[in-house]
A = this chain, B = another copy of it.
Amino acid sequence: MSKPEIHTMEELSAAIGVSRPTLSRYFQDPSKVSKSSVERIRSGLEQVDYTPNFFATRMNRKSTGMIGVIIPYLNDLFFTRLLEAIERAAMRAGYTVITQCSHADPDIEARAAETFLSMNVDGAVVAPLGNHSDLKVYERLNSRLPFVLMDSRPARLSQVDFVGTDHVQSTGIITEYLNRVGGPPVFLAMPRVNFNALEREAAYIAKMEELGHEPVIIGTEEVDAGGYFEAHGLAVLNAYFSKGEFINSSILCANDRVAIGALRAAAHHGLEPGALRQGGLRIAGHDDYPLCPFLIPTLTTVAQNVEAIGQAAIDRLIEKLRAENSQDNQTVQLMDGVLKIRESA
């Protein structure tokens, strides 16, 4: 571009004849400057190429206007939906989101937390890694910042705000549904990489006992799935189907990605899971992964209210950082899951 580059407010001040502090106030809130100055500055800015330095502006402000978010994986549409919900909510509230992905590595997660602290973010929202994460990282963030945990909750962490799905409810309704339409379901677990895996397992067991049935859990063993839940579901069920087991069962998968593998295993063995088959194979999932309506058959599942979880996490965070000194109590918000009945069960 042909516009001359200007790098500091000082230069800009000299160029358009308005004092530097006035410019500073203009960039923060134009209404704090007289109309005549606003006009002069605005027309001046059209002649030159200038944007305030990001670091200098954040350095000695009380608030940086930034919220740090840590997500465990990116290659999972559930987390990307959650992230989008959070970014939208934060944007509406006027905050900038800085995202870090821990890539399933506790060291990276810890490093990201330190980065947020050194950046003086106004608050942090974290979706925990799971078993492998270092709880001290969360405690440290919680003690120094407005902090909210979401999606999955470490059992032994108290005094930390949490927003997520009520897995007792969500897993409960789908267990009940499967039991009603197809008999007592089997639970196809996923590798216990996060706390939700265990919560859903426990919720399944509780509901089954309430219904007077024996819980049956498969797939807890490690399978070489390369970190892909789909491959895990596929490998586990392939093994059982090959032996002729669970061919006519209702199978509740720990999440939709596992269920995608399960559907594939069924197809591979010529089985057609579905609600229309009387007494036959049924497969259901959990989460309402965006692809569910496009699978073959379309996947019955329980939807997590991702949008609400993201919004609530940001709402709670902002509530905390507005009332910094009030020592309010721990808040736990659990959203209900919604049954999505489709073809597969």
Q: A residues engaging B (CB < 8 A)?
A: 1, 5, 51-56, 58-59, 74-75, 77, 80-81, 83-84, 87-88, 96, 98-99, 101, 103, 114-115, 117-120, 136, 139-140, 143-144, 228, 230-231, 234, 260-261, 263-264, 267, 290-291, 293-298
Contacts of A264 in B (CB 8 A): 293-296, 298
What's the number of copies of this chain in the assembled complex?
2
Which chain B residue has the least Cβ–Cβ distance from A260? B294
User: In the bound complex, do residue B291 and residue A115 qualify as a contact, i.e. CB atoms below 8 Å apart?
Assistant: no
Contacts of A298 in B (CB 8 A): 264
Instruction: Tell me what chain A mostly uses at the interface: helix, strand, loop, or mixed.
Output: helix
Other than A51-B118, A55-B59, give 6 A-B pairs with Cβ distance below 8 A. Answer: A1-B136, A51-B114, A54-B120, A55-B58, A75-B290, A263-B294
Other-chain residue from B98, B139, B230 in contact with A291 (beta carbon distance below 8 A) = B230
**Which one of A83, A260, A261, A264 has the highest number of Cβ atoms from chain B below 10 Å of its Cβ?**
A264
- A99 and B69 alpha carbons, distance in the complex (Å): 12
**Which one of A84, A118, A119, A297 has the highest number of Cβ atoms from chain B below 10 Å of its Cβ?**
A118
Contacts of A84 in B (CB 8 A): 74-75, 101, 103
User: In the bound complex, do residue B1 and residue A119 qualify as a contact, i.e. CB atoms below 8 Å apart?
Assistant: no
Closest Cβ of chain B to A154, distance in Å, is 18
Question: In the complex where A74-B83, A294-B230 touch, is A119 in contact with B263 (Cβ < 8 A)?
Answer: no
Contacts of A136 in B (CB 8 A): 1
A-B contact pairs, 30 of them (CB 8 A): A1-B136, A1-B140, A1-B143, A51-B114, A51-B117, A51-B118, A53-B59, A53-B118, A53-B120, A54-B115, A54-B118, A54-B120, A55-B55, A55-B56, A55-B58, A55-B59, A55-B119, A55-B120, A56-B59, A74-B83, A74-B84, A75-B80, A84-B101, A98-B98, A260-B291, A260-B294, A263-B294, A264-B294, A267-B297, A295-B296
